[in-house]
């Protein structure tokens, strides 16, 4: 397994719709493994493939004690409404309140190409929707008001003013001493 560099806001791959996978092969399984490792090292609860520069419909989630991959995911049902703060590994240090359906039913393929369904609420439902948005080229702050989005973007540019490019190397997470 290997850590993959993260694509940050500004990278065009974050703004395009990613392609269907259809056939889950060893290459996709390796991508899934690398994405889990990269998400863990980044202390994220979700990661989409285009965030590591791969425009395919693959994402991983680790939320509310449930850890799973989603390949060619679709949301079959969505109801209720819930607002909470979100962040994104591709827009570090920027957070905003996002309103989304509170309960969803997900359908996706797993790493073996088997189709599964999963009902989710709370943080898990939010993470799933956030990652599927990524696969459609949508970022969390597209859901906040225009005024708020301008503020968040201005803050992002201010904090990035000394940085160049939009690729961020991920370092291994330090071993935890218990």
Mind telling me the catalytic residues?
A: 131
List the structure tokens of 79.
């109801």
CA 48 to CA 55: how far, in whole Å? 9
Number of amino acids touching Ni ion (CB under 5 A): 1
Q: Does residue 51 contact residue 23 with C-beta atoms inside 8 Å?
A: no
Minimal CB distance residue for Ni ion: 88
Q: Which is nearer to Ni ion, 3 or 130 (CB)?
A: 130
Q: In the complex with Ni ion, which residue's Cβ is closer, 16 or 117? A: 16
Residue 104 binds Ni ion, judged by CB under 5 A = no
Listed ranges 63-71, 81-89, 108-116, 119-127: which one lies at the site for Ni ion (CB under 5 A): 81-89
4 binds Ni ion (CB under 5 A): no
One residue of 31, 88, 106, 127 binding Ni ion per CB under 5 A? 88
Residue ranges of alpha helices (H) inside the chain are: 26-41, 122-135, 146-159
Which backbone phi and psi does 58 adopt, to 5 degrees? -135, 135
Q: Does 94 bind Ni ion (CB under 5 A)?
A: no
Residues composing the chain: 178
Instruction: Give 8's DSSP letter.
Output: P
Tell me which residues touch Ni ion (CB under 5 A). Answer: 88
């Amino acid at each position: 397994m290997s850590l993959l560099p993260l694509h940050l806001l500004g990278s065009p791959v974050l703004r395009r719709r990613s392609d269907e996978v259809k056939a889950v092969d060893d290459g996709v399984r390796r991508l899934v493994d690398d994405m889990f490792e990269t998400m863990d090292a980044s202390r994220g609860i979700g990661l989409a493939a285009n965030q590591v520069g791969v425009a395919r419909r693959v994402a991983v989630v680790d939320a509310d004690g449930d850890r799973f991959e989603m390949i060619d995911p679709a949301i079959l049902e969505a109801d209720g409404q819930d607002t909470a703060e979100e962040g994104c590994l591709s827009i570090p240090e920027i957070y905003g309140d996002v309103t989304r359906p509170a309960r969803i039913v997900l359908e996706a393929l797993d790493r073996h190409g088997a189709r599964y369904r999963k009902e989710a609420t709370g943080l898990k439902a939010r993470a799933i929707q956030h990652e599927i948005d990524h696969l459609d080229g949508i970022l969390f702050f597209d859901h906040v008001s225009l005024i708020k989005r301008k503020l968040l973007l201005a803050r992002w540019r201010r904090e990035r003013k000394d940085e160049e490019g939009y690729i961020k190397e991920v370092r291994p997470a330090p071993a935890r001493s218990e």
